[in-house]
A and B are shown apart, each in its own frame.
Chain A
């Protein structure tokens, strides 16, 4: 694979944990933020994801890669309870999320962005972030309608907090712009801000660099690390841009045909023959992508 992959922004020593995974050294004795056990889902007999086991440390940046159609987004949908798994469990901060709804999973501390951007496109940038703050700074419907003091207080707090979050990506000046009219890259960044507003302990990013130029990608990489450091949260990301994945991920998990085919540090993954075969095909099978 390419030379660029050797350029690393992070330098973490990864250590194996008793379960079948690795976590950053600093997270070894802490409770993992995410743990899945034999997670799987079938769609009418087709096993989209099978026996998916992963442990993510509370401050880890973890990559999920694999060829198209490998089931990466399905894993995200399983973790966020958009799909209910047919086998196995997801533990967030040690708590079993079986039977929970997407909304409850979010309250447990799991937030995500989407591969095909899903902003509230008719609402302003600030209002998008305020939706993220919905459960963080609440007040009742009645105080909203009657404009009680609690309404004004909470609205002010929401406004301040929203601008503060937007400033991570330098977007505070765009607060009044309609989200749908933002440029593509800004929409992706806004999705991350909205997810962050829900105060997660694990942030799932589905192809955050899709459609970004190399310069923007590099900025995004720095910002992901900054978010991790400032908010002390774990980040799990799906990405096809190997510069990004190899540059910032501490642990990488490779998925093919719904199964994990390799787990390890970026260096290990780059040298893993099974991974190389999954991406490039073996020499024996011609035309197999």
Chain B
């Protein structure tokens, strides 16, 4: 019965994604006149897919595994940079001469994109293993800060990496600070040019439906992986460790193994999304992947509801498309964006509005939408108010709200733990 309930909920999520995809396909297709989509929005489709994958994968770390990560953009950037390098390498190493006498890559763009995404995922996973071994021993805020630092290290490292492909060879240079940019020779094609970022000469930047289909498949694969993981032995172990670490250990769970499993899976998916994102752009620079981006992804997860996968999907779409929709506001765009965030946070936490929505026969996803916020308890209101102060101060984005939410969350958890003790009604022995 419970399995069926889970399955139903998962199927609804798959259904929403598939319906949205079909809708987009109809909108893109020139044959269907009824539904159209603006060019700006069309170009947003692939990045939105990447953001869905990022948000869902971060939700695995934050919601399912219960570890706060502020370095998700780090894994994304690893995926993006290795993805662009591998696509360029695949295009330059495997070539053939076509009928017109021109040298062209053997593989189609789609195949190269898929392979690059896999390579990007593998490298992001490797980075996660390296960082996870020392960092996952830490808990809570300490882990969050170490991962934040990791993201910054990756950003600074990628900022001074130079990579070129020359036939089947990959040339890498990491010049010391202050020295001039390295040269790779006549035939070499520079792929990563230090602080100037990646040079994606393989794939066109214009909207490409095949790429959108690949992006859609990535979203579906991500959802399948996450849902199947959650409803399996390993996923239950991950959630058990989140709920009560000491009990999990006493029940014979290898805590490090399962934390690592969640962390690496999350990073691999983020790396794949990063490769997709990187190859969809003419250029991405390391500076793009700073902690603001990590916070932005976290914002999606929090807004969608911590632990709610469907919420993450919906929030990712809304939060990525909203700024585009607000372009007519020009300079006030980010201000309004921040206000909308605050209103959503407050509204989903207000019993009055929730009742109203319930009365309107709202779909459950709306409830999911605010679940994470509700879980945070009443204190979130303070967080949002602080966010309002941040806006007044001219700081765009609900970043302030998230930061204080994070702070309040700890208090809420502590309060909850106190409550449990009270029920116990005993002065606990030292444990």
Listed in ascending order, the chain A residues whose CB lies under 8 Å from chain B are 43, 48, 68-69, 71-74, 77, 80, 82, 101-103, 106-107, 111-112, 114-124, 126-128, 130-132, 134-135, 138-139, 141, 144-147, 151, 154-155, 158, 175-176, 184, 194-195, 197-198, 207, 210-211
**Considering the chains assembled together, what is the distance between the CA atoms of A70 and B211 in angstroms?**
67
17 contacts across the A-B interface (CB closer than 8 A): A80-B250, A82-B249, A102-B246, A106-B252, A116-B431, A118-B247, A120-B247, A120-B248, A121-B243, A122-B239, A131-B237, A131-B240, A131-B253, A132-B252, A141-B232, A141-B234, A155-B233
Contact B235–A82 (Cβ < 8 Å): no
- The verdict on B361 contacting chain A, using a C-beta distance below 8 Å, is no
Listed in ascending order, the chain B residues whose CB lies under 8 Å from chain A are 1-2, 224-225, 228-229, 232-237, 239-240, 243-244, 246-255, 261, 420-421, 423-431
- CB-CB under 8 A from A145, the residues of chain B are 224-225, 228-229, 232
Contact B240–A123 (Cβ < 8 Å): yes
How far is the CB of A144 from the nearest CB of chain B, in Å? Answer: 3
- CB-CB under 8 A from B247, the residues of chain A are 114, 118-120
Q: Nearest B residue to A200 by beta-carbon distance?
A: B252
Q: Nearest A residue to B1 by beta-carbon distance?
A: A176
Q: Nearest A residue to B246 by beta-carbon distance?
A: A118
What 4 A-B pairs have minimum CB-CB distances, sorted nearest first?
A144-B232, A73-B429, A106-B252, A118-B247
Contact A132–B251 (Cβ < 8 Å): yes
Contact of B234 among A69, A102, A144, A207 (CB under 8 A): A144
Contact A144–B431 (Cβ < 8 Å): no
- CB-CB under 8 A from A135, the residues of chain B are 252
- CB-CB under 8 A from B236, the residues of chain A are 123, 127, 130-131, 134
- CB-CB under 8 A from B430, the residues of chain A are 43, 48, 73-74
- CB-CB under 8 A from A77, the residues of chain B are 431
On whether A120 and B243 interact (CB within 8 A), knowing A106-B251, A134-B251, A141-B261, the answer reads: yes
**Considering the chains assembled together, what is the distance between the CA atoms of A131 and B250 in angstroms?**
11
Q: Nearest B residue to A139 by beta-carbon distance?
A: B233
- CB-CB under 8 A from B251, the residues of chain A are 106, 111, 131-132, 134, 194-195, 197-198
Contact B232–A115 (Cβ < 8 Å): no
Contact A138–B233 (Cβ < 8 Å): yes
Contact A211–B425 (Cβ < 8 Å): yes
**Considering the chains assembled together, what is the distance between the CA atoms of A139 and B1 in angstroms?**
22
- CB-CB under 8 A from B232, the residues of chain A are 139, 141, 144-145, 151, 155
**Considering the chains assembled together, what is the distance between the CA atoms of A154 and B233 in angstroms?**
9
**Considering the chains assembled together, what is the distance between the CA atoms of A103 and B228 in angstroms?**
25
Contact of A103 among B235, B253, B421, B423 (CB under 8 A): B253
- CB-CB under 8 A from A121, the residues of chain B are 243-244
How far is the CB of B416 from the nearest CB of chain A, in Å? Answer: 10
Known: A71-B429, A144-B229, A194-B251. 18 other contacts (CB 8 A): A68-B427, A101-B249, A107-B252, A115-B424, A116-B428, A120-B239, A120-B248, A123-B236, A123-B240, A128-B240, A130-B236, A131-B253, A132-B252, A134-B233, A141-B232, A176-B2, A195-B250, A197-B251
